[in-house]
Amino acid sequence: MSNDSTGYAVLSVGPLSPHACVSFERPARYTVSVKGSPEVSLLLVVLRGRDRVEDISWRVYLNEVKVSREFKPQHILPLRGTLHYVYVADVTPVARGAETVELAIRCHAGDTFVEAAGLVSLLPGERPARARVYAGVSRIEGDRDLRVADTGFSVLSLVGRSDGGAISAGGVLRKISGLFEFSELLTDNAVDLRGPLSVYAAVSNTFEGRPPEVTVSVAPAEPKRLKLVLANPGDYPAEGVDLRLLRGAQTVGRLDLRRLKPRESIDVVLDDPASEATAVKVSYEFSGQQFMRMLRLVPY
């Protein structure tokens, strides 16, 4: 299924490790974060089972509230000798106001596993954006070039399973195997999916203007002191900015800047041993996702 809406959506899933549906007494349990104050929260559960449809006894609980009385998946798809079941439910009243939710899936069925479970949260944005949410199972064989939007830039999040496929975005090819999560900021709105891949959920958020970015350069300073010039040339704030100064593989300094506003530039002066840093690891958040970059320190 898909949904277009103003604002942005965040996909948060529990640890990706298949859980066998062998007993009601051994439920699959997940702690899932709830980003911000969502206007809508959707529960997503994906099961993988044997090659014929069977009655599956199961119950889904969110913060001890029973969500499902019986198993009625909205989507069933046969793939390579197995069946995938997808269940989606609106759990906004239960998730509202919580920072995390506790999800428990009690199920009993032969050769059946909980593949993935989590939340898709729709949040209001400071600036207009478009969110698209897809839930189901899509099988990709061979190469598929995907263009997320025609203008602006996008943040794409995927959850699925790979049997030896890869994802190429921003000039970087990532080989993946087994259950996977993928999040990337796409300045060109393009991603190349290389099968075999099975995608269980996809969330894309499209924005106009220039994406947030954290640049770091070195300015002249006194001996044994390091002066960094940090800037965000984008049109959106970079949240939760964290910098780790590196000398080789060793951390020699750290800065927690929290927020860098659009087109903001700040100077930071550091004493030894940070003056010996040769690179910086930068992490920041945008659109509910965290991004990390490795930058070499260059003269200002």
DSSP annotation string for 135-199 = EEEEEE-SEEEEE--SSSEEEEEEEEEEEEEEEEETTEEEEEEEEEEEEEEETTSEEEEESSEEE
pLDDT on residue 222: 77
Rounded to 5°, angle at Cα 191 from 189 and 193: 155
pLDDT on residue 186: 95
pLDDT on residue 3: 53
The residue count of the chain comes to: 300
pLDDT on residue 6: 66
Beta bridge partners of residue 162, listed in sequence order: 178, 197
| Phi, psi dihedrals of residue 240, rounded to the nearest 5° | 55, 40
pLDDT on residue 299: 61
| Phi, psi dihedrals of residue 229, rounded to the nearest 5° | -110, 115
Start-end ranges of CATH 2.60.120.1200 in the chain?
A: 2-207
pTM of the model: 0.86
pLDDT on residue 54: 65
Task: Give the separation between CA 200 and CA 289, rounded to whole angstroms.
Answer: 18
Report the relative pairing of strands 238-247 and 172-186 from DSSP bridges. Answer: unpaired
pLDDT on residue 55: 66
Task: Give the separation between CA 166 and CA 187, rounded to whole angstroms.
Answer: 19
CATH architecture of 2-207: Sandwich (2.60)
Dihedral of the CA atoms 171, 155, 189, 125 (nearest 10)?
Answer: -150
Give which of 216, 206, 266, 195 is closest to 236, Cα–Cα. Answer: 206
Give the other-Cβ count within 10 Å of 259's Cβ: 13
pLDDT average per 10 residues of sequence, the chain (300 residues): 68 90 88 84 90 73 82 78 88 85 87 92 82 89 92 95 92 92 94 93 93 88 81 94 87 87 90 77 91 76
Start-end ranges of CATH 2.60.40.3970 in the chain?
A: 215-296
What does CATH list as the number for 215-296? 2.60.40.3970
